[in-house]
Amino acid sequence: MNNRDIEKRLSRALRRETPDVLSRVLSAHEQEEKIVELNQVQPTIKKKRRWPIWAASAAAALVLTAGAAWGLTGAYGTDSLISIDVNPSIELATNRYEKVLRVTALNDDANQILDGMDLKGTDLHVAINALIGSMVKNGYIDDIRNSVLVSVDSKNTSRAAALQDELAADIQQALESSAISAAVLKQSVQEDDALRSLAEQYGISSGKAALIQQLSQQDPTLNLEDLAAMNINDLSLLALAKDPDLQGTVSGTVSDKAYIGLDRAREIALAKQPGGTIKEISFDFEDGRAVYEGELLHNGREYEFDIDAVSGDILKWKDDGPMDTDDQPLLDDSSYIGLEKAKTIVLERLPGAQVLELKLDRDDGRVIYEGEMITDSLEVDFEVDAVSGNIVKWDEEARRGQVTQQTQSPSADPTYLSMEDIRSIVLTKVPGGTIKELEFDYDDGMAIYEGEVLQGRQEVDFEIDAVTGDILKWEVDND
Amino acid sequence: MFFFCMLPAIQNEIGADIAPLVDEALLPRIAEGDRDAFAAFYAQTDRAVFGFALSILKNRQDAEDIMQDTYIRVLDAAASYQPRGKPMAWVLAITRNLARMRLRSLNRSQPAEPEELEAISPLLDGEALATDDRLTLQTALAVLGEEERQIVILHAVSGMKHREIAQLLELPLPTALSKYARALAKLKKILNGGSQP
């Protein structure tokens, strides 16, 4: 019995065993849609007792609105998609009468929030009130984490902007009654395929996806996966640190009570180097950890530091060397090779990379261009001697969470393995071997790669199935 | 053109051991609510979806639930499908995510252990199921490692190439290939030798 026989047997066994769920799927799906319609006529609130206040107001609102929504054109069409993110992520679809058509829990936390609530058919504002109340009750919003992201996706942009403001007001009001002063981050989102797939990849709302996409565009060293895992409070702090202009889209003040705060971080840095001056300090995330990073000047030297935002521990304290008080020459690079030349030098070393940062600086008395560049898979910190143009530092690091780029198949047909794939198969078999020849060929109509690899002193002729990667021939040539 | 028209006929002739081609053009039609398109897509993918779910979860009932959830998700998500020539990989990625979520919620990082083989056996009781086929599936589920199972079953029923399978399972290609080879060697040894280790 060969591989193919075994696979045939498995395939036949599974064909017989695969259940037929087609009709169940279709009726389950239909049911989902019917529920939406039904609820507009006869809204029901389940488990009333668990939601005394919100449920009662929701029920009252429904009595008033149920009749109105029924029978009007446009009642079933989705007008706006609204997502509310705290850590629970919930998406609401509404019609143009602001009735909730569908509520979707996008993560486990959201399931907990929605448990027992049936908001279909309710007024949007009532629904938001109920959701926010439940989030407070379940401990997702408090003084420490007081931020809520509201994203509105609507074809009508002026409508989207108005809705955002209304909802922000609703949320602040709801939280006020729990004595929490909320911060609401508002945004309009136009969902497209890229955003949708980003959202699906990480199981987050398209609103949160839009926010992290924006953040990672602003600072490409931020990792999407880390960002996706962060709660809205942290994301808001980070977004505001990266782009202070965003303050305009936030109602209220984002709480940093979970962290030691900028003032305390300043104190810690100054305690380490008494008499110093803080040149800059800001909130950031390094490797998923919240930090305050900054620069301090003391006695003509410059120090770079990172302080853990939770514990206040100094994670990094780097002496960047003397900083001449009369360091005018640094601003004028005419005596040096120049920014453009420095850029050319590093790009020669790593073609196609994107230079994110490049500046003239001093390091231990030597004038250098220091900077950072990235490719899809690498992050490089470099320093170029500003006089000689020599690269004096080159630290390559793999970018975490990045999908390694797919190698292109030499043949246009994607069903074939690429040359690179074949190389790795051969080199797995002959570690350290040298591939002398490798070419794509057809052998009796079968696509193969054939080649030669040097194994020590021996030459091996091989053929590999271009589809399965099976080694078809492996012959040691003893000549 | 002519060649493509011929394909379905050839498949019928050879029998059921060739995974059907999945027609990508069905997805936009599904998104528009075309039931026939959905039924066709279902018929082209059901075995792979169920087999893959079973290979992850090792439990018939769980696999059937995940299969159902997968297709409900397909109905919802067809509109966001981006045509890249990989509809099978797309639907199986949905299955993978749902099955992994199920595993997590079952609070076990590992699927059922061999002692739960009993629970799988009922699925193999069908009288019509030829003994050899039944034995092979049962053995594969029982003796192969988690990734080995997934790779072998996917290769047998999805029509995907090793490279696509490696991508779906987030494994480096050489790893997927060597696991595949090892798994089949294991199965051959047992099935030809007639004894379980």
- Reading chain A (479 residues) residue by residue, the pLDDT tens digits are 788 889 989 998 898 888 999 988 888 887 765 544 444 333 333 333 333 333 334 433 333 333 333 323 345 567 788 889 988 889 888 887 788 888 888 888 888 888 878 888 888 888 888 888 888 888 888 888 888 999 988 877 777 888 888 888 888 888 888 888 888 888 888 878 888 888 888 888 888 998 888 888 777 777 888 888 888 888 888 888 887 777 777 888 888 888 888 889 999 999 988 888 888 888 888 877 889 998 888 887 888 999 999 889 998 888 887 765 444 445 455 678 888 888 889 988 888 888 888 887 877 767 888 888 888 777 888 999 888 888 888 887 776 543 333 333 344 445 667 788 888 888 888 888 888 888 877 665 567 788 888 877 788 888 888 777 778 888 887 65
Closest-CA distance of chain B to residue A295, Å: 41
Same structural domain for residues A271 and A384? no
Same structural domain for residues A186 and A296? no
Domain presence at residue B3: no
From chain B, pick out residues whose CB is under 8 angstroms from the CB of A474: none
Is residue B51 predicted with pLDDT exceeding 90? yes
pLDDT tens sequence across B94-153: 898 888 888 877 755 455 544 344 444 444 444 444 577 888 898 899 899 999 999 999
The DSSP letter of residue A215 is H
Residue-wise burial string across A43-60, b where 16 or more C-beta atoms lie within 10 A, e elsewhere? bebeeeeebeebbebbbe
B46/A14 Cβ within 8 A: no
Q: Tell me whether residue A71 is exposed, middle or buried, using C-beta atoms within 10 angstroms of its C-beta: 0 to 12, 13 to 18, 19 or more.
A: exposed
CATH for A288: 3.10.450.40
DSSP reduced 3-state for A43: coil
Adjacent-strand bridge partners of A284: A291
Domain presence at residue A6: no
pTM over 0.80: no
Amino acid at A175: L
Domain presence at residue A54: yes
The residue count for chain A? 479
Same structural domain for residues A284 and A312? yes
* CB-CB contact of B71 with A25 (8 Å): yes
Six-digit token string for A197 = 């797939």
Q: Tell me whether residue A479 is exposed, middle or buried, using C-beta atoms within 10 angstroms of its C-beta: 0 to 12, 13 to 18, 19 or more.
A: exposed
The residue count for chain B? 197
Helix H, strand E, coil C: the string for A226-278 is: HHHHCCHHHHHHHHHHHCHHHHHHEECCCCCCCCCCHHHHHHHHHHHCCCCEE
Using CA coordinates, name the residue in chain B closest to A4.
B156
Domain presence at residue A5: no
Work out the number of other CB atoms within 10 angstroms of the CB of residue A409.
Answer: 18
Closest-CA distance of chain A to residue B6, Å: 18
Write down the H helix ranges in B32-170: 35-57, 60-77, 87-105, 117-120, 131-143, 146-157, 162-168
Alpha-carbon distance A125 to A181, whole Å? 19
Same structural domain for residues A102 and A167? yes
Amino acid at A109: D
Six-digit token string for B115 = 């002692």
* CB-CB contact of A304 with A316 (8 Å): yes
Percent helix, percent strand, percent coil in chain A, to nearest 5: 40, 30, 30
The DSSP letter of residue A410 is S
The DSSP letter of residue B129 is S
ipTM entry? 0.82
Residue A277 CA from chain centroid, whole number: 35
A15/B47 Cβ within 8 A: yes
Using DSSP bridges, classify how beta strands A147-154 and A391-398 pair: parallel, antiparallel or unpaired: unpaired
Q: Can you give the pLDDT at residue B17?
A: 43
Domain termination site, one of A227, A251, A275? A251
* CB-CB contact of A159 with A80 (8 Å): yes
Domain presence at residue B153: yes
Is residue B93 predicted with pLDDT exceeding 50? yes
From chain B, pick out residues whose CB is under 8 angstroms from the CB of A22: 39, 42, 46, 71
Domain presence at residue B175: yes
Same structural domain for residues A468 and A378? no
A421/B163 Cβ within 8 A: yes
Residues ≥6 apart with Cβ < 8 Å to A410: A418, A419, A440
Residue A44 CA from chain centroid, whole number: 37
Amino acid at A282: S
Same structural domain for residues A212 and A112? yes
Count Cβ–Cβ pairs < 8 Å, chain A vs chain B: 133
Domain presence at residue B69: yes
Rg for chain A (alpha carbons), in Å?
Answer: 30
Q: Can you give the pLDDT at residue A438?
A: 83
Amino acid at B193: G
Using CA coordinates, name the residue in chain A closest to B61.
A19
Domain presence at residue A292: yes
Count of structural domains within chain B = 1
Q: Can you give the pLDDT at residue A36?
A: 45
Alpha-carbon distance A287 to A315, whole Å? 12
* CB-CB contact of A135 with A51 (8 Å): no
Q: Can you give the pLDDT at residue B165?
A: 93
Same structural domain for residues A281 and A342? no
In which residue are the tokens 């279902």 written?
Answer: B42
The DSSP letter of residue A123 is B
DSSP string, A136-157: HHTTSSSSSS-EEEEEEEESSH
| Nearest-by-Cβ selection for A14 from B128, B137, B178 | B137
- Count how many Cα atoms sit within 13 Å of the Cα of residue B133 in the half-sphere of its side chain: 21
Work out the number of other CB atoms within 10 angstroms of the CB of residue A277.
Answer: 10
| Nearest-by-Cβ selection for B157 from A2, A10, A26 | A10
> Quick check: A401 contacting B, CB < 8 Å?
no
Q: At what angle do helices B35-57 and B60-77 cross, to 10 degrees?
A: 140
Same structural domain for residues A304 and A371? no
Domain presence at residue A210: yes
Same structural domain for residues A228 and A360? no
Six-digit token string for B159 = 């029509």
Q: Which domain holds residue A270?
A: 262-319
Interface test with A, best of B94, B107, B131, B133 (most A CBs within 10 A): B133
Average of per-residue pLDDT across B162-183: 90
Same structural domain for residues A307 and A383? no
CATH for B147: 1.20.140
Q: Can you give the pLDDT at residue A245?
A: 74
Residues ≥6 apart with Cβ < 8 Å to B15: none
Chain B contacts in chain A segment 315-354 (CB below 8 A): none
Same structural domain for residues A289 and A245? no
Q: Can you give the pLDDT at residue A400?
A: 55
Q: Which domain holds residue B157?
A: 20-112+120-193
Q: Can you give the pLDDT at residue A265?
A: 92
Residue B62 CA from chain centroid, whole number: 14
Using DSSP bridges, classify how beta strands A183-188 and A147-154 pair: parallel, antiparallel or unpaired: parallel
Q: Can you give the pLDDT at residue B117?
A: 42
Alpha-carbon distance A215 to A211, whole Å? 6
Six-digit token string for B151 = 């790779």
From chain B, pick out residues whose CB is under 8 angstroms from the CB of A14: 47, 50-51, 54, 137, 153, 156-157
Domain presence at residue B1: no
Same structural domain for residues A98 and A47? yes
From chain B, pick out residues whose CB is under 8 angstroms from the CB of A15: 16, 47
Q: Tell me whether residue B151 is exposed, middle or buried, using C-beta atoms within 10 angstroms of its C-beta: 0 to 12, 13 to 18, 19 or more.
A: buried
Alpha-carbon distance A22 to A458, whole Å? 58
> Quick check: A452 contacting B, CB < 8 Å?
no
Six-digit token string for A447 = 């696509």
Using CA coordinates, name the residue in chain A closest to B151.
A7
Alpha-carbon distance A296 to A306, whole Å? 11
Domain presence at residue A8: no
From chain B, pick out residues whose CB is under 8 angstroms from the CB of A17: 50, 54, 60, 123-124, 126, 129, 137
Instruction: Name the average pLDDT for chain B.
Output: 78
Residues ≥6 apart with Cβ < 8 Å to A146: A175, A180, A181, A182, A183, A233, A252, A254, A255
Element housing A347 (H / E):
helix A339-349
A200/B77 Cβ within 8 A: yes
